[in-house]
């Protein structure tokens, strides 16, 4: 176990995460912590997701001090929860950090919070306060984030609305901080860092270029849509493609077989739909910057796309990011195939309606969330900006 220097008064911070979205959102924060002489920054990954997590670690050049490598084929929520809790006991007892940082709404975020609580270690929850008020939608994320909030000691809310959710639930105002969302930090960092020429290869791989202005980017992976929901999504995409010969749909298909099976079965032979393997974050960010429209059930993309001026149709019935809906940068369309088609067609046909969505201000931050969080942790003036 690494001991702290009493005279230097360093703070030991252990950041724990397990999935690609967590890694993307925590990468700017980890980078910022590493710059601080007053901080000993340690990183633990559960590898709740393996391949997609590794892509982000390599992209941001993040070195893990602990890699629990917990992912198993066809793992259930029971499996990952039990293995993570037992494995994290050893990590936390050896590290004994001053505070554990978790992010968002994954099983890793909840379990790491619980493990830290059992050992009476302080917890900081990044992206705290998001709510749909439906414990099964999204599943299991809505409960994961609520439990992480209950266990936390510091809450880093991305927006004023998230802060208001926490206040309504009785959390102490003095320990809730509105910081913006670190995903905007990550997006700007990567778009600055990566070569445009290199990323254009993503388009050329399936016969497209930046001249293809009518590119629709699709992602989908939510558990609550497995089965009929994903079939409906696919039929909606198929109708969009068949009615619009001048557009191209690019769909990086999630590795989960509950997603891959219906997607390939229904969309595999549609000429202007390109089903590709999941992309690393740099290339995915480039695709976002180049596309015309995004259809997704992802939470993070609802935050990222407005920063790039891209309208988002959210293929879910509820969202924990109502700021995007209220700002007009995103619209809920559910998983009904006809509604997905009709709402997409409106934006393809009506240039004024499209511009109204594309030009709205992004409510999720300015790219300085990580600096604010570090300032709060260290008690510096940056936290007050």
Residues catalogued as catalytic: 105, 127, 141, 221, 223, 254
Q: Are 93 and 119 in contact (CB under 8 A)?
A: yes
The CA–CA distances, whole Å, from 337 to 230, 264, 297, 340, 343 equal 9, 17, 14, 5, 10
The CA–CA distances, whole Å, from 321 to 181, 194, 305, 353, 381 equal 11, 28, 13, 21, 28
Give burial (CB, 10 Å; 0-12/13-18/19+) of 143.
Answer: middle
Closest by CA to 148, choosing from 157, 160, 137, 161, is 157
Q: Are 263 and 291 in contact (CB under 8 A)?
A: no
Residues paired with residue 155 on neighbouring β-strands, in sequence order = 125, 176
Indicate the DSSP class of residue 280. P
Rounded distance between C-alpha atoms, residue 145 and residue 193, angstroms: 31
Closest by CA to 348, choosing from 216, 225, 252, 259, is 216
> Helix, strand or coil for residue 102?
strand
């Amino acid at each position: 176990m690494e001991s702290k220097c009493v005279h230097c008064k360093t703070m030991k911070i252990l950041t724990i995460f397990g999935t690609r979205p967590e890694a993307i959102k925590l990468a700017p924060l980890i980078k910022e912590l590493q710059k601080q002489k007053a901080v000993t920054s340690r990183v633990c990954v559960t590898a709740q997701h393996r391949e997609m997590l590794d892509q982000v670690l390599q992209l941001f050049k993040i070195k893990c001090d602990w890699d629990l490598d917990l992912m198993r084929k066809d793992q259930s929520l029971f499996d990952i929860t039990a293995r993570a809790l037992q494995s994290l006991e050893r990590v936390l007892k050896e590290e004994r950090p001053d505070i554990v940082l978790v992010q968002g709404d994954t099983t890793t975020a909840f379990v790491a919070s619980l493990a830290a609580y059992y050992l009476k270690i302080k917890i900081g929850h990044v992206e705290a306060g998001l709510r749909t008020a439906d414990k099964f939608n999204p599943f299991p994320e809505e409960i994961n984030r609520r439990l992480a909030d209950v266990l936390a000691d510091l809450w880093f809310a991305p927006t004023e609305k998230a802060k208001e959710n926490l206040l309504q639930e009785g959390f102490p105002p003095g320990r809730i901080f509105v910081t913006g969302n670190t995903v905007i930090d990550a997006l700007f960092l990567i778009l600055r860092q990566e070569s445009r020429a290199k990323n254009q290869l993503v388009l050329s791989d399936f016969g497209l270029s930046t001249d293809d202005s009518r590119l629709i980017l699709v992602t989908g992976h939510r558990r609550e849509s497995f089965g009929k929901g994903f079939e409906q999504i696919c039929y909606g995409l198929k109708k969009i493609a068949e009615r619009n010969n001048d557009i191209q749909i690019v769909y990086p298909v999630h590795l989960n077989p509950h997603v891959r099976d219906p997607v390939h079965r229904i969309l595999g032979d549609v000429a202007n739909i390109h089903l590709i393997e999941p992309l690393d974050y740099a290339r995915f960010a480039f695709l976002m910057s180049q596309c015309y429209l995004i259809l997704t059930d992802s939470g993070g993309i609802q935050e990222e796309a407005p920063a790039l001026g891209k309208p988002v149709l959210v293929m879910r019935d509820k969202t924990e990011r109502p700021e995007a809906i209220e700002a007009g940068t995103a619209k809920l369309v559910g998983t009904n195939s006809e509604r997905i088609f009709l709402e997409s067609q409106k934006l393809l046909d009506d240039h004024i309606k499209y511009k109204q969505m594309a030009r709205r201000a992004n409510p999720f931050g300015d790219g300085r969330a990580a600096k604010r969080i570090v300032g709060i942790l260290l008690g510096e003036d940056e936290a007050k900006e």
